[in-house]
Structure formats: structure tokens, C-alpha cells
Amino acid sequence: MSLSNINIKNKKAWFEYELLDKYIAGIQLTGTEIKSLREGKANLTDGFCTVLHNEIWMINTLIAEYTHGSHTNHEPKRKRKLLLNRQEIDKLKKKLKDKGITLIPLRLFINEKGLAKVEIALAKGKKLFDKRESIKAKDVNRQLDRLKKTR
């Protein structure tokens, strides 16, 4: 895979949460983690972010072990530090104190300079009826697309 093709998404997030604000942060990785990420072996589905000691940490995200790694290979589900400005951290910390607000990773990618970045979002969990509305809207859009193709 080339660098521009690395774009790992958390598809479940758009269904489970109502997204409020989005941020792009750098991510602190070890050598074998970035090599594994370049192979496209990561999963953000169960991940979330939290504030610990005035730093943002991404927890429970999987970056698989590097296949050609030795005894220095990384732990697949370790905590990873996100790199943000102090003002952004303070703003996120303040908003996370609200009830029902969480911080989730949406997308993990490598930018043009070859640096690993993660797109995170402040999110609020959807209720069951909101999820049903999302499913209905998706079905309607799918049917409209089918009608357009037949013409």
C-alpha cells in the first residue's frame, strides 16, 4: 500500500454517535506500530479517547503487531498519546465534563509528509429512535440511487 492509501475508518462511529466537533491530532507511535499501520493493519471500532494528566490518550484501539518484528514488537492495544495544542486540550477537557459527551477516533491516516494522524470527534451517543431514523434515511437514499441507475 502506498502512503496515500492508508485511511482506516471507524464506520461504527457515524451510526452510534452524533458527531459535534472534529479535530485532527498527531499520534505518538513506536517504530513497529508505524510499519504495521503502513500495512493497513489497524482497527478503531472499540477505541475511545480520554484526558489523563492534561494529555489526551487514545485507548483500546488495535494496531496489529508487525509481522517482521522481533522481540521489540509493540503491544497491540496499548494506550497511545495524541499530540494536540494546549488550547485544544483545555477546550476538549472542558467539553468532556458535560454529561453524555465522549471523544472517539473516527479515522487514522498518514498525511502527505508521512506522519500518522488521527481524526477525533466530540460525540454524543444516539438513542434507539435516532438510529432507526438513520437506517430509514440510508434505505431511502439507496432506493433513490437504484432508481437513478435504472433510468
For 9-40, the pLDDT digits (tens) are 888 888 788 889 999 999 998 888 888 888 88
Would you say the pTM of this structure is higher than 0.75?
yes
Residues above pLDDT 70, as percent of the chain = 97
Least confident window among 14-18, 22-26, 46-50, 82-86: 14-18
- With a CB cutoff of 8 Å and minimum separation 6, the contacts of 88 are 23, 25
List of domains in the chain: 3-126 (2.40.280.10)
Query: What is the pLDDT confidence band of residue 130, given thresholds at 50, 70 and 90?
Result: confident
The pLDDT assigned to 82 comes to 93
**Concatenated DSSP letters of 81-148:** EEE--HHHHHHHHHHHTSTTEEEEEEEEEE-TTS-EEEEEEEEEEPPHHHHHHHHHHHHHHHHHHHHH
